[in-house]
């Protein structure tokens, strides 16, 4: 157990240009000397979908290292905490080695973050599992969603660390109407995506459910958007650039931009603004 001391602490609102309408992440800007148990205790206490701890990098290519905790455990990678941590690091005076990009070190390796006008974007890391779900897994998810199997248009493993799977429904309205019962699938890490009609500001509505990590529904999930973007843009299920709405059922207004480069790199972009600055004693 470390001797308690005051450490800089911020909360960052990610994926919304309207204040307090995105997904907040708590960031402890100095996580040195904290134990795993101390980090986990803080994450349970903040009760946000993720809390992160910034540390010195262990490799020369990185600008900083981050550890990411949900109330239920540590994640090797997560998207909105990546953008929120990068914003917090910059806001705290961090200067990247390369002026054009920030390099974050986390458990999945190095993740590039680039700065744009009013937004940050991270490069989607490789998926560790992909391909269609097996029918037993799909029935388990469909049962928790309270829908019939024929409502599923497509399905896929989209796991880039947290264990994500996703099902595609025909419309955004069907996704918004879901009333899941995760007592039937308490360890699920799953999303549902459906398309909006022509002329809509957003191409898709996405909902992300993570009871397996102690988060019933995530207001805006960068890691799932990243892997779903890799799947959809590589299979022709979406154009090379599109926008996703998320958090609607939770009273949020997240907007996530997905862009696939010609080489196949998928970038996940959105606003990230520090909304609380202070200190935490740990």
Q: Which residues are catalytically annotated?
A: 50
Q: Sort 176 into a burial class: Cβ within 10 Å, 0-12 / 13-18 / 19+.
A: middle
Name the strand (E) or helix (H) holding 48: none
Residues in Cβ contact with 183 at an 8 Å cutoff, skipping those fewer than 6 apart: none
Distances (CA, A) of 249 to 68, 201, 219, 245: 25, 17, 9, 11
Alpha helix ranges (H) inside 188-241? 222-235
Q: Sort 135 into a burial class: Cβ within 10 Å, 0-12 / 13-18 / 19+.
A: exposed
Residue 203 in contact with residue 58, Cβ under 8 Å?
no
Residue 256 in contact with residue 120, Cβ under 8 Å?
no
């Amino acid at each position: 157990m470390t001797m308690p001391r005051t450490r800089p602490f911020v909360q960052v609102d990610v994926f919304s240009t309207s204040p307090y309408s995105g997904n907040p992440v708590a960031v402890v800007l100095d996580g040195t000397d904290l134990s795993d148990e101390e980090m986990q205790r803080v994450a349970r206490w903040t009760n946000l979908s993720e809390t992160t701890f910034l540390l010195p990098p262990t490799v020369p290519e990185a600008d900083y290292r981050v550890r990411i905790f949900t109330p239920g455990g540590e994640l090797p990678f997560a998207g909105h905490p990546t953008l929120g941590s990068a914003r917090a690091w910059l806001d705290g005076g961090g200067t990247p080695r390369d002026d054009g990009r920030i390099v974050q070190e986390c458990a999945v390796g190095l993740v590039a973050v680039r700065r744009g006008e009013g937004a940050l974007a991270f490069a989607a890391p490789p998926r560790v599992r992909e391909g269609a779900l097996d029918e037993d897994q799909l029935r388990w998810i469909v049962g928790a969603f309270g829908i019939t199997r024929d409502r599923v248009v497509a399905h896929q493993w989209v796991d880039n660390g947290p264990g994500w799977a996703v099902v595609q429904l025909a419309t955004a309205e069907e996704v918004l109407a879901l009333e899941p019962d995760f007592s039937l699938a308490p360890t699920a890490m799953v999303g549902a995506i459906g398309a909006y009609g022509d002329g809509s500001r957003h191409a898709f509505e996405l909902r992300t459910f993570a009871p397996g990590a102690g988060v019933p529904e995530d207001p805006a999930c960068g890691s799932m958007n990243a892997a779903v973007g890799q799947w959809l843009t590589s299979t022709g299920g979406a154009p090379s650039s599109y926008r996703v709405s998320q958090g609607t059922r939770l009273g949020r207004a997240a907007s996530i931009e997905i862009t696939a480069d010609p080489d196949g790199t998928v970038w996940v972009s959105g606003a990230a603004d520090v909304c609380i600055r202070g200190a935490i004693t740990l």
